[in-house]
A = this chain, B = another copy of it.
Amino acid sequence: MKLSPLQIARYEYKPKLPGMLRNGIAEISVKVGEKTSSVADQEKIAALFPNTYGKEEITFEKGENTSVAKVRKVGVILSGGQAPGGHNVICGLYDALKATNKENELYGFKGGPSGLINDDYVVFDDEFINQYRNTGGFDIIGSGRTKLEKEEQFEVVVEVCKKHGITAIVIIGGDDSNTNAAVLAEYCAAHNTGIQVIGCPKTIDGDLKNEDIECSFGFDTATKTYSELIGNIERDANSAKKYWHFIKVMGRSASHVALECALKTQPNICLVGEEVADKKMSLSRIADYIADSVNARADKGDNFGVAIIPEGIVEFVPEFSVLIAEINELLAGKKTDEFNALPSWEEKYAFIEKGLTPESMKVFAILPVGIQQQLFLERDPHGNVQVSLIESEKLFSALVKDKLAARKKAGTYKGKFSPLHHFFGYEGRCAFPSNFDADYCYSLGYNACMLIQYGYTGYLSKVSNLSKPAEQWVAGGMPITKMMNIERRNGEDKPVIRKALVELDGNPFKYFCAHRESWAVNTEFTYPGAIQYYGPAEVCDITTVTLALEKE
C-alpha cells in the first residue's frame, strides 16, 4: 500500500484530549450530576425504559479513579454513512482500554450492525490500529445500514457477546442508531445480561444535536471540505464573471450543512429547507427569490453568482411533497407495469395528466423534462420516487431560467444567465478529519471507555464546551433517554432522539438573515481554502461558525 505524504505525517498527530482526561487513567473520577428526564413525553419514555430511564448526567474530573478493576472485552460498530473522525473514535477507545489494562481487548465488528449479528469481527492490536490514526473513512471495519432494533436481533447480539466475553458495546452512529442503542441498553439491562451499551454522536448532517450534544462529529470536516470547493467556485465565478453556479450539498433533510457552508463562504443565495416549510414557499416563489438576485446583479453588470441548495430542499416545499405522494399513489402496485408499457413519453405524459390532481399537475408541468422523467423512471424497490436523487440544483436553475425569460419579455431583465451545476457529498464524508474532528472523536472514544469503566449503560459519550480550546472541553455522559420524545414513525408511536432541524430563531439562521440581502446583490464571497492541519491555530483548530454563533 502506497501512503500519501499527508497520511504519513498525520499518523504522528497526537489528538488533544479535554484537560480533565489528560492526567492519566488513574486520575479520572466521576462527578454524578442531576437525575434526568426526557425532553418530552416523560411518562411514556419512562415506561418504555424502566431500567435505564431517569439516570444522572455525569461528568469526569481530576481525582482518584474508583472504577472496578477487571479485564474487559469491548465491542465497537460503525453504523450508517461515513463521517470524518470515525477511525479516531475507535483509536481513542482502544488507547483508553489499553491504558486502563493491557489485557483489555477491543473487538471491531465488520460492516456495521450486521457484523455484530453475523459475528464477523477483528480484534484490534497496535499495528492494526496505528494504520488508521487521524485518517478519514470507515474502512477500518466498514459500516452498514442494518437497523439493530428487534428483539430477535438483540438476542443474537447478546449471544455473540457472551460467546466472546464481551461486556460492553460502543455504537458509533446517528440519531436512529443511538435511539436503537438506548433500546438495546434497556434490553440488556432488563435481561440482566451484564452488557453495557454506549453511543457516540456521528453524522456529517449536523442534525444530531440538542441542549446536551453540541454537535455530531464529521460535520466540521465535511462542511470545511464543501466550503473549500464552494469558495474556489466563487473565486472562479468572480474571475470569469459569466456563470451562475448552482451547488447542491449533502445533509439529508436538515439544512445545517448548507447553512454552515453559507456562513463560511457568503454566497449570493442559500436556500434553507426549514424556512421554505415555515413560509410554505412554492417552487415558483423560491425561483422568484433566486431570480431577484440574478436580476439585481445583472442590473449591475454582474451576470454571475453562486447559489447553495440543500439536498433535502424539495421535501420542504409543501406542493412538491403533495406531488410526490400523488405520484407514489399513481404508480402503486400494478399501475407501474401499465405505465411502463406505454411506448412513448408523450403517452406517459397523458397518463400522468389524467392521474394527478389539477394542483399537482400544475406543479408537475413547470418542472424541466429531465426532472419529470426522473420522477417517473427512477424509483426505489418499493416503487416510490427517490427524492434524494432529484437533481434539485438543476430543477431550480431551470425554474429560474423560465422566470428570467418572462422578465426579459416584460423588459425588466436584460442580463445573460448561464448556469452550471455541482453536487458535493461524497467528497467530504471521508476526508482526513480536521484537527477539531480528530480531537473530538478521539475524546469521544476515550471518554466512552471511561463510561464503560464506571459501569454506565444507555449513555451517549458527551464532550462539550467545544467552541473553546480542547483544554477546556468537558467530558462526561448523558442518558440517551434524556434526549428522547415520542414520534409517529411508519404509523407507530416510537421513542426516538429528536432530530435537530435548523432553528429559525437560532443565532446561525438569524446571522444569515441579517446579511443575506447584501450577499444576494453584492459580491461578498469569502474563500476558506483547503482544510489545514498545520500552521496557525486560527487556521487549523477552529470549528464551525454554526457552533460559535450558537454559543454566543
Contacts and interface: CB of A to CB of B under 8 A. Distances in A.
Interface of A: 1-7, 9-10, 81-82, 111, 135-139, 142-143, 225, 228-229, 231-233, 235-236, 238-241, 243, 245, 264, 266, 344-346, 420, 422, 426-432, 524, 526-536, 538-539, 542
Given A135-B527, A529-B432, A232 B9 contact: no
A12 to B, nearest CB: 9
A266 to B, nearest CB: 7
Given A232-B426, A432-B529, 7 more contacts: A5-B538, A6-B528, A7-B529, A228-B530, A233-B426, A344-B344, A432-B527
A346 B136 CA distance: 48
A539 B229 CA distance: 20
A529 B431 contact: yes
Nearest to A231: B4
B430 A235 contact: yes
Contact of A346 (B240, B344, B530): B344
A7 B239 CA distance: 17
B5 A136 contact: no
Contact of A143 (B7, B143, B240): B240
Contacts of A528: 4, 6
A120 to B, nearest CB: 13
Contacts of A82: 235-236, 239-240
27 contacts: A3-B526, A5-B538, A5-B539, A6-B527, A6-B528, A6-B530, A7-B526, A7-B529, A9-B538, A82-B235, A82-B236, A135-B235, A136-B235, A138-B240, A143-B240, A225-B530, A228-B431, A229-B427, A232-B426, A232-B430, A236-B429, A236-B430, A344-B346, A432-B527, A530-B530, A530-B531, A532-B533
A533 to B, nearest CB: 7
Given A82-B239, A236-B137, A529-B7, A426 B420 contact: yes
B136 A6 contact: no
A228 to B, nearest CB: 7
Contacts of A5: 536, 538-539, 542
Given A236-B82, A236-B137, A426 B532 contact: no
Contacts of A240: 81-82, 138, 143
A139 B238 contact: yes
B2 A526 contact: yes
Given A238-B139, A241-B142, A344-B344, A9 B527 contact: no
Contacts of A135: 235, 527
Contacts of A143: 239-240
Contacts of A228: 431, 530
A91 to B, nearest CB: 16
B9 A535 contact: yes
Nearest to A421: B423
Copies of this chain present in the complex amount to 2
Contacts of A524: 1-2
Contact of A239 (B138, B225, B533): B138
A5 B233 CA distance: 18
Contact of A236 (B7, B232, B426, B531): B426
B137 A239 contact: yes
Contacts of A430: 232-233, 235-236, 239
A53 B2 CA distance: 47
B432 A4 contact: no
Given A143-B240, A344-B344, A527-B136, A6 B539 contact: yes
Given A239-B137, A240-B82, A426-B422, A225 B231 contact: no
A326 to B, nearest CB: 26
A549 B544 CA distance: 40
Nearest to A236: B430
Contact of A529 (B6, B346, B422): B6
Given A346-B344, A528-B4, A235 B137 contact: yes
B529 A4 contact: yes
A526 B4 contact: yes
A172 B239 CA distance: 15
A534 B531 contact: no
Nearest to A230: B427
Contacts of A4: 231, 264, 526-529
A235 B529 CA distance: 21
A239 B142 contact: yes
Contacts of A432: 527, 529-530
Nearest to A346: B344
A546 to B, nearest CB: 16
Contacts of A422: 426-427
A140 to B, nearest CB: 9
7 A-B pairs with the lowest CB-CB distances in the bound complex, closest first: A534-B535, A530-B530, A235-B430, A137-B235, A6-B529, A138-B239, A534-B534
Among A136, A143, A245, A345, the one with the most B-chain Cβ atoms within 10 Å of its Cβ is A136
A142 to B, nearest CB: 6
A289 to B, nearest CB: 23
A549 B324 CA distance: 54
Contacts of A111: 241
